[in-house]
Amino acid sequence: MANGGIRQASPVNGVRSPSLKAALGKYWAIFRTQLVNSLAYPIDLLGRSLLIVLFMWIFMNLWRVTYGASGAHSIAGLTLADTMWYLMMAEAVMLSKRDLSEEMTEQVKDGSVAYLLNKPFNFILYHFAAGLGHSVLAFGGNLVIGAAVVWLMVGPPPGIAGWLFAGAAVILAWLLDFCFSALIGLSAFVVEETAAFRWIYQKFLLLLGGVLIPLDFFPAWLQTFSLNLPFAWVIYGPARLFVEPSLARLGQVLLQQGIWLALIGGTVWILYRRAAARLAINGG
């Protein structure tokens, strides 16, 4: 280790554990700050939401032609309207989630992680609270604009239960996605350049998560394979729940999300504690 180096023994060394209320208050403040920050640039927010119009337009052309050519009213239990509302929800989740892995990678690479690690909050929870503040507004914008476009194209959306059930599942989906982002971001402690992992994760979401095509249209073996992976529960779960809001499906989605959250979240927690304990910060 170079002169002036600091080796952090533990991410929580010497700091008295705050009460749960105080801890939540800190992250609530971070969430609120990010929310207000995003609200300060409404044009930017609106502009980013316009991307969903482009995707919905392309999907409408693709699936209108496909349904027309097949001559069927519904494919794998989904009508054209169901498919479009499914894709709208899938794109809204996809476009509003904040990819924190890039930011975390940069912080590890340029050393600014040192300034966050010695603050009185948890590095991982800090990023989650900030990311959530961004995602909530972006999701709202995408949902309003995306829903307006799809309504014009195929008629009214599913009932209120669809919105409520999907809303609950979307929050857990963001949490699950955040765990993946953190996993990729934390890998920067080992490999420094994480872009390739990020691209591949994004593509897994697009394909096995069901952003480009509902998993119901997959061959049976691939559908089973996809449903046994966590990516489906970031996108497909909430989007499918939106167009078919039953209590049984809600239970299945939340259960799957809970299991994957425990597995991937637990891995992130262990890796973070190890990485922070091994972190060597040079210079002053």
Partner 1 sequence: MGRHIAFVLALWKTNLLSAMEYRVSFLTQMAGMMLNNAIYFVFWIIFFARFEEVNGWDLVDMLFLFGVVATGFGVGTYLFGNAVRLSLLIASGQMDYYLSLPRPVLLHALASRSNASSAGDCAYGLLSFGAAVYFAGAFDILMLLRFGLGCLAAVTVLISFLVLVQSLTFWIGNTNLLTSNAFNAIVTFSLYPITLFDGTAKLLLFTLIPAAFIGALPAEFVRRFDLAQLAQICAGSAIFLFLATFVFYRGLRRYESGSAFQVRT
Residue numbers at the binding site for partner 1 (CB under 8 A): 44, 47-48, 50-51, 54-55, 58, 61-62, 65-66, 69-70, 193, 195-197, 199-200, 202-204, 206-207, 212-213, 217-219, 222
Nearest to 237 by CA among 178, 177, 159, 152: 177
Is the CB of 105 or the CB of 122 nearer to partner 1? 105
Is the CB of 8 or the CB of 202 nearer to partner 1? 202
Smallest separation, CB 209 to partner 1 (Å): 11
Phi and psi (nearest 5°) for 13? -65, 130
Is the CB of 129 or the CB of 234 nearer to partner 1? 234
Smallest separation, CB 174 to partner 1 (Å): 22
Smallest separation, CB 66 to partner 1 (Å): 5
Helix (H, G, I), strand (E, B) or coil at 125: helix
Smallest separation, CB 69 to partner 1 (Å): 7
Q: Which residues, other chains included, contact 245 with Cβ-Cβ below 8 Å and sequence gap of 6+?
A: 158, 159, 161, 162, 164, 165, 166
Smallest separation, CB 193 to partner 1 (Å): 5
Is the CB of 86 or the CB of 197 nearer to partner 1? 197
Is the CB of 197 or the CB of 242 nearer to partner 1? 197
Q: In terms of C-beta distances under 8 Å and separation of at least 24 residues, what long-range contacts does 82-86 make, across chains too?
A: 82/243, 82/244, 83/214, 84/56, 84/59, 84/60, 84/150, 84/153, 84/154, 85/150, 85/154, 85/157, 85/158, 85/242, 85/243, 86/214, 86/239, 86/240, 86/242, 86/243
Smallest separation, CB 97 to partner 1 (Å): 16
Helix (H, G, I), strand (E, B) or coil at 18: coil
Is the CB of 213 or the CB of 250 nearer to partner 1? 213
